[in-house]
Amino acid sequence: MSKVKFVFCTHNHQPVGNFGWVFERAYQVSYKPFMQVMLNHPKIRWSLHASGMLWEYISKEHPDYIKSVKKLVASGNLEILSGGYYEPIMTSIPDRDKIGQINKLTAYLENKFGCEEVNGAWLAERVWEPGLAKNLCEAGIEYTVLDDAHFAAAGMEPENLRGYYTTEEQGCSLNIFPISQNLRYSIPFQNVENTINYFKKAALNAGKDGQPPVLVMADDGEKFGMWPGTNKHVYENGWLEKFLTAIEENSDIVETASFSEILKTRKSSGMVYLPCASYFEMSEWSLPSDAQQKFENVLGRYSGDAEAKTFMRGGFWRNFLSKYEESNNMHKKMLYVSDKIKKYTDNNKPFSEKSLDSLYAGQCNCAYWHGVFGGLYLPHLRNAVYNSLLKAENLYNKSFLKRSSWTSCDFDCDMENEYLYESKTQNIYVKADRGGSIFEFDILKISHNLLDVLTRRYESYHKRLKDNISRAVIASDDDEEVRTIHNDEIKVKEAGLDKYLSYDLYRRASLIDHFIPKETKHEDFTFVRFKENGDFVSGKYEAKISASKLILKRNGKVDGNDICLTKTIIPSVTGYAVHYEIENNSDKEADLCFVPEQVFAFSSRTGDDCADLKEISLWKRYDDYFKIEVEVKLSEKSAAFVYPIETISNSENGYEKTYQGTVFAPLVKKVLKPGESFKFDMETVVNIKI
């Protein structure tokens, strides 16, 4: 029997833009008590990774914790891992930013804690692509940690992974430690005895190479206190204390070790080339919703067949960029700003550390995807990404932007040009091939994208909510039941959520040109239960830049009539005017109800966000958080629908309804004879009240 080397690693992270009280709660219920227990076990070696902004928060608010870390590092009990400073998905950012983010965190750790050598890196969400090996090597990294699911995807047996492996990219070598899913799922949720028995079994089945087996448990630190019911379980009921004591008492079977110690005392178990992967659950979440439902059905049929599941996998992280247009928009904005920042060096301008740091903060991964945590569905996280990116862009503009102008480029990399208006006060981005709509509207003084609104779309878990709504229970903040986040229990934050499961037929944007029946009711328009009489919403418009104007034109159909719609977007200092001209080119009369819909990402819903207005020429909405007032002026009095966009998403604490933005949709009713046209103007102004 060979003694098991056990590497115990926790990863602590809170996203950019998360609320201060969440940072503090995570510290009080998870990070602090975990550290206190570890300090009482000087025989235990362990490893820790925390994202840079979390280190900054703890350093400022809880310096005693930092002293404890320094003490453990100095004694050799604690090894700290580097990684991306702001926890980006490494595969999604430019190579120069990958290396820059790692170097920033490595330097911080060496300066803050006196680490002699930081040579390991944590990869956010363990998202792996083969090319990363070269990037990590170039950043001075010798090893990283990935799930055994990555190795299973390469045809290897997870239960036979008892060491570490070596891969390479273009001759650059990197060591990879596999994380045991068995340990990840059992710690801290199962009895301590189960884990000790697992170590005993591993000790009896040592590898043929004669080297001691190595087992790794590396996972979120928040599962030790912040996940539902775990604070009482792990600390009050003493799970962590019992676990560490059991390891000490079974020192003839298992002993803790650091990653670096394993590298120095044990040979690599061989070469491996891993495919694009993350942990298994991520492969489910990243699939399109319909495919995800089918994948879950297949998993259900083979749930008892461990061998079959080994060869099952869904999508990979980049699928989120095609699954959610809003995620792709943020990602392409990040790449666009990163290229701008690069011009500081390309044009021999003074380098701006502040702009680079803002760019890095805008690469924080959490808002770019959605699984069991809120992620993309949480407006404050998306807002933080845009806020950071726009701050970086503002700094760039001071040096390089000479005049306001329209330009065209393939912004979102779909092989179709978008039209971008950029000034020192605002950005207006238009998709001519998608209804001639405005898909980004940046107010630069407050660094806010006023079109950061999430579309209501079907998610695979919506079926579970609908099918089980009668037995759903209201989630409680003081829920003490110990459970993982991977469970099928139906908990809701409020009753009646199934009533809000309506799905948009188009991406939420501004200047969406509807033609609808005149009798359409407010509620039907709100919940997408109306007939679209025209083909303009997602149709392709011809676009032409004329001085400071963007002219968009489409010949389309409305109830069989040939209709020509021309809209001209004219930017102002902070806002824009739109001049519409609609002509009936048919030989019969056209009875039209034209609805040029706009949507705005306010910080929260108000009582006025649901209204069926009559005969108005001005609509106003104030947002106290952003300190802005939005005005929409109409050239003639019209009725208007106002309603909130609210999504239903799943989270670790249950299903919840989230406000995303407010729609303003004027109803312009006209009857046009053959060859007749009408004109309509709409002006949107954002007044900043700071």
- How far apart are the C-alpha atoms of 304 and 306, rounded to whole Å? 6
- How far apart are the C-alpha atoms of 503 and 128, rounded to whole Å? 33
328: left (phi over 0), alpha (psi -120 to 50) or beta: alpha
Q: Which of 125, 147, 597, 652 is catalytic?
A: 125
Is there a catalytic annotation at residue 125? Answer: yes
CA nearest 362: which of 447, 429, 438?
A: 447
Q: How many CB atoms lie within 10 A of CB 524?
A: 15
Is there a catalytic annotation at residue 220? Answer: yes
Q: Is the Cβ–Cβ distance between 35 and 50 less than 8 Å?
A: no
Q: Which of 220, 489, 535, 559 is catalytic?
A: 220
Decide: helix, strand or coil at residue 646: strand
- How far apart are the C-alpha atoms of 267 and 290, rounded to whole Å? 45
Q: Per residue in 638-669, is it b (16+ CB within 10 Å) or e — as a string?
A: bbbbbbbbbbbbbbbbbbbbbbbbbbbbbbbe
- How far apart are the C-alpha atoms of 382 and 389, rounded to whole Å? 11
- How far apart are the C-alpha atoms of 56 and 27, rounded to whole Å? 13
Work out whether the CA dihedral 106, 111, 112, 113 comes out positive or negative: positive
Contacts within 8 Å (CB) and 24+ apart, 97-103: 97/338, 97/359, 97/360, 97/363, 98/132, 98/135, 98/139, 99/135, 99/138, 99/139, 100/356, 100/360, 101/360, 101/363, 102/136, 102/139, 102/140, 102/141, 103/139, 103/140
CA nearest 591: which of 555, 560, 612, 553?
A: 560
Tokens of 148: 């055994």
Work out whether the CA dihedral 278, 284, 285, 286 comes out positive or negative: positive
Half-sphere exposure of 392 (CA within 13 A, CB side): 28
Q: How many CB atoms lie within 10 A of CB 345?
A: 11
CA dihedral (385, 389, 392, 393) in degrees, to 10, reads: -160
- How far apart are the C-alpha atoms of 638 and 668, rounded to whole Å? 6
- How far apart are the C-alpha atoms of 667 and 449, rounded to whole Å? 26
Q: Which residues are catalytic?
A: 125, 220
